[in-house]
Structures are given as C-alpha cells and as structure tokens.
Amino acid sequence: MRIEPTDLPGLCLVTPRRYGDARGFFAETFNARTYARAGIDTVFVQDNHSVSEHAGTVRGLHFQAPPHAQAKLLRCGRGRLFDVALDLRVGSTTFGRWAGFELSAENGRQVFIPEGFAHGFMTLEPETEIVYKCSDFYAPESETALRWDDPGLAIVWPALDAPPVLSEKDAGAPCWADFTSPFVMAPA
C-alpha cells in the first residue's frame, strides 16, 4: 500500500497493493493495522455506498459540523469520478483551498479526508459507485452543504456537456461568501 501526502495537510492519497493473477486481482482495501502504521489510525464506524446512474452527477460539497465531524476513506467501486476535498479548518495554511483526484475502479486509488474538510464528487461515467468509511455516524442535524460551483472556491471540475444531476439540497446550497467555518485547525 502506498500513501502520498497532498498540498493540504492531513489529506492523502492511498493506493492499496493489488495481487494480480489469471483470475483478476485481490487487494486489501482497508486494514486497521497497516493503515495505522502508515499514519491513518482513524477509527471508522460507518460504511457508505452510493450509486449514481448518470455521468455528470454531482454530490456535495458536504460535511458534518462538530461534534459529529467525519473523517472519510473513499474509493470508487465501479466507474470513474472526480473527487474534491475542501479545507475548512480555520488556522490551516490551506484554509479555503481544494484538491481534486480522479478515482476509478480501474486505478483503485483512495482518498483519506480528515475531519474539517468538505467533500464532493462528480461522476465521469454512468453507474458510478463510491464506497467510503466514516469516522462518525450520520447526524443529519449537523450536516452542512456548500455550493459545488461557487465562484469563490473556483474548483476546476471536469467539463460537462449538460447541466449536472444534483439533489435539491445541493442545487440550493449556501455560498462560500456566506460561510463561517465551524472547524479550527488542530495543533500539530
């Protein structure tokens, strides 16, 4: 398993090792011991799985506010998607900055997103599935959204040839300019 840091402190890419043979491959997509040894010692308590029928589906940007903040370990189980994490930690050297990664069933890449980030993705193929671990339980009362295409965030999403497929919640999400973050960067 390979872990690569990113420009956003704590956000990293994980590429599990694949053992290929004539049948296909085998990979450990999570292992508490090897991930902890590599610095990801988060205790995950909930697994999520979503399927988006259409390419150009956008889910996010979402996060749960403290005390129900969630760290996430994400991967694409089928299809392909562009995954985005946005640093919301006041005091972080990268507050307000985002990072994006193409995840696919083919590349097997995972993203570890610490608490204090908003998360969203855009599907790049039909029938795209994302599966991910969360470090806290679903707490809808603490859920918050930010506009995926907010000009203040200037996230460079893959080009779409039609309007995105969005939930009502995401279509009417608040703007960055009106946002006050509930997160403070934890001391190093």
Ligand X SMILES: Cc1cn([C@H]2C[C@H](O)[C@@H](COP(=O)(O)OP(=O)(O)O[C@H]3O[C@H](C)C(=O)[C@H](O)[C@H]3O)O2)c(=O)[nH]c1=O
Give the binding range for ligand X (CB under 6 A) out of 28-36, 84-92, 97-105, 115-123: 115-123
From 35, 68, 119, 132, active-site residue = 132
From 19, 62, 68, 119, active-site residue = 62
Spatial separation of the C-alpha atoms in residues 138 and 134, rounded to whole Å: 9
Binding of ligand X at residue 16 (CB under 6 A)? Answer: no
Binding of ligand X at residue 60 (CB under 6 A)? Answer: yes
Known catalytic membership, residue 119: no
- Please select the residue that binds ligand X; options are 25, 31, 36, 48, rule is CB under 6 A: 48
- Please select the residue that binds ligand X; options are 6, 13, 62, 97, rule is CB under 6 A: 62
Spatial separation of the C-alpha atoms in residues 158 and 184, rounded to whole Å: 30
Binding of ligand X at residue 59 (CB under 6 A)? Answer: yes
Q: How many residues bind ligand X (CB under 6 A)?
A: 10
- Please select the residue that binds ligand X; options are 109, 119, 133, 147, rule is CB under 6 A: 119
Give the binding range for ligand X (CB under 6 A) out of 23-31, 59-67, 99-107, 148-156: 59-67
Positions marked active-site? 62, 132
Instruction: Point out which residues bind ligand X (CB under 6 A).
Output: 48, 50, 59-60, 62, 119-121, 138, 167
